[in-house]
C-alpha cells in the first residue's frame, strides 16, 4: 500500500528534509518560494503573538519549531512584544544561517537557535508560553506525536499555533498535493480536519482554525493548553 497515510509514516522523510534544507540554507532567503509561500505566514503569526500579549500582558517564552533561517524569530525578537524566542530546526545549516543573521542584534533581543527534531524537543515540560510552527509540519513523519510533544513543553495556559498549506480546495490541492509534493517528495499536507483531530487527541482545548490567502491558501490551527 502506497497511499498518503503510508507515506506519512516513512522514516526516510526526516532524513530527506534535513538533506534538502541543509543544501538550501544559504539560498533559502532569496528563493521565490520562500517569498510567496512562507513569508505571508509570518504576518499571521505576528498577529497571534500580539493577541497573546494583549491577553496576558507579560513576557512570553516562545519556541518556533522548524524555524528555518530564523526570519520569523528575528521579527519577534525585534518587535515591541516582550518575548524571548528560541528557534529549533532539524537542519544544522539552517540553524547556522539563522544564528549568523541575528549575530548583530543586541544580546537582549537575539534569538537562540537549537538544532533538534520536532519529535523530541530538548526542553523540560512546561518551558514555553507560545509555540509556533510555520510551513514545516508537512515534513514530519509522525505528526500526532509532534503535537503531543509540543503540548508537553507548553506551560499550562500556553498556546500552540501551527501553520501549513491549505490543501482542501482545488488550488490548494494542486499547489500542495501535486506541485509541492512533486518538488519536495515525501511530504504530507494534512486536511484541516486531520490537523484538528491531532490537536483534539493531544488534549488541547478551544481549537480554532484561521484560513488565509495571500498568494496561496494556508491555514493556522490555534489552541490552548489546559
Ligand atoms: C519550508 S521551511 C520553513 C521555515 C520557516 N518556518 C519559514 O516559515 O520560513 C521548513 C523547515 O522545517 C525544518 N524541519 C523539517 N523537518 C523537521 C523536524 N523533524 N524537526 C524540526 N525541523 C524540521 C526544515 O529543516 C526547514 O528549515
113 lines ligand 1 (CB under 6 A): no
Q: How far apart (Å, rounded) are the C-alpha atoms in residues 206 and 2?
A: 35
Write the CA distances from 68 to 4, 72, 141, integer angstroms.
25, 9, 18
Give me ligand 1 centre to Cα 223, in Å.
21
Is the CB–ligand 1 distance for residue 110 below 6 Å? no
Q: What is the pLDDT of residues 19-77, one digit of tens each?
A: 999 999 999 999 888 888 888 999 999 999 999 999 999 999 999 999 999 999 999 99
Looking at the 3D structure of the chain, how many domains does it have? 1
Is residue 165 in contact with ligand 1, taking CB distance under 6 Å?
A: no
What per-residue confidence (pLDDT) applies to 2? 40
Name residue, grid cell 510567496: 36
Could you tell me the distance, in angstroms and rounded to a whole number, from the CA of residue 67 to the centre of ligand 1?
6
Does 91 sit in the ligand 1 pocket, CB within 6 Å?
A: yes
pLDDT tens track for 64-110: 999 999 999 999 999 999 999 999 999 999 999 999 999 988 888 89
118: confidence class by pLDDT, cuts 50, 70, 90 = very high
Residue 86: CATH number of its domain: 3.40.50.150
**Can you give the pLDDT at residue 138?**
96
Distances (CA, A) of 197 to 41, 44, 135, 190, 201: 22, 22, 19, 11, 6
At residue 9, the pLDDT reads: 59
Report whether residue 118 contacts ligand 1, using a CB cutoff of 6 Å.
yes
Run of H or E residues at 77: helix 71-78
Pairing assessment for the beta strands 205-213 and 217-224 based on DSSP bridges: antiparallel
Which is the closest atom of ligand 1 to the Cα of 18?
25
| Contact indicator for 204, 225 with CB cutoff of 8 Å | yes
Closest among 148, 140, 212, 218 to 176, alpha carbons compared? 218
Tell me the whole-structure pTM to 2 decimals. 0.94
Which residue from 28, 90, 147, 164 has its CB within 8 A of the most atoms of ligand 1, so it is best to mutate? 90
Q: Which domain holds residue 148?
A: 4-224
Amino acid at each position: 500500500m502506497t497511499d498518503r497515510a503510508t507515506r506519512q509514516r516513512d522514516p526516510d522523510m526526516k532524513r530527506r528534509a534535513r538533506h534538502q534544507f541543509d543544501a538550501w540554507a544559504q539560498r533559502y532567503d532569496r528563493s521565490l518560494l520562500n517569498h510567496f509561500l512562507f513569508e505571508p505566514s509570518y504576518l499571521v503569526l505576528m498577529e497571534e503573538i500580539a493577541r497573546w500579549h494583549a491577553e496576558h500582558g507579560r513576557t512570553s517564552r516562545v519556541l518556533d519549531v522548524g524555524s528555518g533561517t530564523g526570519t520569523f524569530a528575528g521579527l519577534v525578537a525585534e518587535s515591541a512584544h516582550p518575548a524571548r524566542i528560541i528557534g529549533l530546526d532539524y537542519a544544522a545549516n539552517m540553524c547556522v544561517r539563522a544564528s549568523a543573521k541575528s549575530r548583530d542584534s543586541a544580546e537582549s533581543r537575539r534569538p537562540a537557535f537549537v538544532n533538534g527534531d520536532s519529535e523530541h524537543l530538548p526542553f523540560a515540560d512546561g518551558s514555553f508560553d507560545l509555540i509556533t510552527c510555520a510551513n514545516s509540519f508537512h515534513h514530519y513523519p509522525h505528526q500526532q506525536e509532534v503535537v503531543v510533544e509540543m503540548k508537553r513543553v507548553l506551560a499550562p495556559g500556553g498556546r500552540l499555533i501551527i501553520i501549513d498549506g491549505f490543501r482542501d480546495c482545488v488550488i490548494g490541492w494542486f499547489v500542495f498535493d501535486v506541485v509541492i509534493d512533486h518538488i519536495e517528495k515525501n511530504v504530507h499536507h494534512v486536511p484541516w480536519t486531520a490537523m484538528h483531530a491531532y490537536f483534539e487527541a493531544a488534549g488541547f482545548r478551544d481549537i480554532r482554525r484561521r484560513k488565509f490567502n495571500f498568494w496561496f491558501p494556508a491555514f493556522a490551527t490555534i489552541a490552548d493548553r489546559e
